[in-house]
Amino acid sequence: MPKQVNHEERRQIIAEATWEMIMKKGIEGTTVRAIADEANLSLGSLRHYFSSQEELLSYSMELVKERVTERIEKKFAQDIPMDELLVHFSLEIIPLDDQSRLEMTVWFHFMANVQFRHKFEGDDGILQALEQLLSLLEAHGRLKPGIELQEEIETLYALVDGLAIHCLFAPVRLTRERIVPIIVKHVNLLLLHPLNSSIFL
Amino acid sequence: MPKQVNHEERRQIIAEATWEMIMKKGIEGTTVRAIADEANLSLGSLRHYFSSQEELLSYSMELVKERVTERIEKKFAQDIPMDELLVHFSLEIIPLDDQSRLEMTVWFHFMANVQFRHKFEGDDGILQALEQLLSLLEAHGRLKPGIELQEEIETLYALVDGLAIHCLFAPVRLTRERIVPIIVKHVNLLLLHPLNSSIFL
């Protein structure tokens, strides 16, 4: 009996082949035929999973977001001390290993492309997550008094995304050792009880 | 007598047509023929100015950097009080008008493309400029004592680039009114004499 391949699993394999193609050729150079070749599928089989190129590309973009979210949720399931949440979350966003570098590069391609950008305008999930984390810390009295929450969410979001992009483009300069103290220093501006960088290195 | 067109001026016009094509089709979809059409030139004339597509694209990327640099230098020629330099510089990086939005979008396309990214790894000029500005402020005793200069340069670079990208993708959320207080608040962490946001609005 042939090996059963789960439908959703196959869709993910195709999406990953799409990422590979995007890395090689950009979104504009990524044809359905090339993706089928990359995934070792006939064009007909691929069409069984995605009826249009648009559907395939949209799914591939969604999958980047899902993977990052999964990784963060897995990390947070580890019962992390509340005060450390913002730093751990930030470090999960920054592409410090090969897998997250690939995902962020693909994401970057999508974001450079007007057609896909609309979908995610201000909704890549990071802003909302930061809002939740900061609200949680505030509700538990872990933040310094007088913090302007909305402004601090926006600031941390920009700082983390800026570090993420710089890490993507200049990994030699922006190592984990360089990034951790920057994030901890910034988060400590917000926390009532400051953290020590060394626990994140 | 036909109007004389300066060689360099024509190259810039072609580079601007290249930007338009990149906005429409991405870098991979930008052919020399399409650029020639966009610039109302024959393919032969275009080749007179750029002998290869690579040369044309490299020049187009350099021109983005040059334009931004020019704008910043023009701004700084206006004899700005030293303490305000970091804020003005940051605001020039952030795409708050149509022209700088176009430039940053094109830049983003180039940076998403591995082929071009190498050239600019850690050298888009912003890091060096921030280093100069912060060193100048330090030399004139305008910074708080005990500032770790290299760390603060990297932090401000990430914050400003993060805001720039978020402003590009979510201009409705990230208005000048929202961005200015964030930058001023951060810069005030460094300055001995804090600035008031209102002078930048």
pLDDT digits (tens, 9 = 90+) for A59-73: 999 999 999 999 999
Q: Most A CBs within 10 Å: which of B19, B22, B27, B28, as the mutation test of the A interface? A: B28
Q: At residue B122, does pLDDT exceed 60?
A: no
First to last CA, chain A: 49
Domains and CATH numbers, chain B: 1-51 (1.10.10.60), 62-200 (1.10.357.10)
First to last CA, chain B: 49
Range from A2-16, A122-136, B21-35, B179-193 that averages highest in pLDDT: B179-193
Share of chain A above pLDDT 70, in %: 96
A23 contacts in B (CB within 8 Å)? Answer: 114
pLDDT tens figures, B17-55:
999 999 888 888 899 999 999 999 999 999 999 999 999
- 3-state helix, strand and coil shares in percent for chain A, rounded to the nearest 5: 70, 0, 30
A155 contacts in B (CB within 8 Å)? Answer: 159, 182, 185-186
B29 contacts in A (CB within 8 Å)? Answer: 28-29
- Which of B162, B182, B189 lies at the smallest CB-CB distance from A161? B162
B170 contacts A121? CB cut-off 8 A: yes
pLDDT at position B113 = 83
B159 contacts in A (CB within 8 Å)? Answer: 155, 158-159, 162
- Closest Cα of chain B to A177: distance in Å? 11
Average pLDDT, whole number, for chain B? Answer: 92
pLDDT at position A1 = 55
Residue (of B88, B108, B86) closest to B166 by Cα position: B108
pLDDT at position B3 = 64
Average pLDDT, whole number, for chain A? Answer: 92
B188 contacts in A (CB within 8 Å)? Answer: none
Taking only Cα atoms into account, the Rg of chain B, rounded to an integer number of angstroms, comes to 19
> What is the ipTM metric for this complex?
0.92
- Closest Cα of chain B to A141: distance in Å? 23
Note whether B192 and B141 are within 8 A (CB): yes
Whose structure tokens read 């704008």?
Answer: B71
Mean pLDDT (whole number) for B139-159: 97
Q: Most A CBs within 10 Å: which of B166, B168, B178, as the mutation test of the A interface? A: B166
A105 contacts B108? CB cut-off 8 A: no
Mean pLDDT (whole number) for B89-95: 95
Length of chain B: 201
- Measured between CA atoms, the residue of chain A closest to residue B173 is A122
Q: Most A CBs within 10 Å: which of B165, B173, B187, as the mutation test of the A interface? A: B165
- Which of A25, A122, A155 lies at the smallest CB-CB distance from B170? A122
B157 contacts A161? CB cut-off 8 A: no
Note whether A160 and A72 are within 8 A (CB): no
A23 contacts B28? CB cut-off 8 A: no
pLDDT tens figures, A97-156:
999 999 999 998 888 887 787 776 657 789 999 999 999 999 999 999 999 999 999 999
B185 contacts in A (CB within 8 Å)? Answer: 151, 155
Residue (of B172, B102, B176) closest to A123 by Cα position: B172
Instruction: State the Cα–Cα distance between residues A11 and A17, nearest whole angstrom.
Output: 10
- Closest Cα of chain B to A27: distance in Å? 8
Sign of CA pseudo-dihedral A173, A165, B173, B85: positive
Q: Most A CBs within 10 Å: which of B114, B120, B163, as the mutation test of the A interface? A: B163
Mean pLDDT (whole number) for B139-152: 96
Note whether B180 and B91 are within 8 A (CB): yes
- Measured between CA atoms, the residue of chain A closest to residue B119 is A169
Give B143's strand partners. Answer: B191
Mean pLDDT (whole number) for A162-168: 95
Instruction: State the Cα–Cα distance between residues A66 and A59, nearest whole angstrom.
Output: 10
B173 contacts in A (CB within 8 Å)? Answer: 122
pLDDT at position A121 = 65
- Which of B25, B174, B178 lies at the smallest CB-CB distance from A28? B25
B174 contacts in A (CB within 8 Å)? Answer: 154
- Measured between CA atoms, the residue of chain B closest to residue A24 is B114
Which alpha helices (H) appear in chain B, and where do they start and end? 7-25, 32-38, 43-49, 53-76, 85-93, 98-112, 114-120, 126-139, 149-169, 176-188
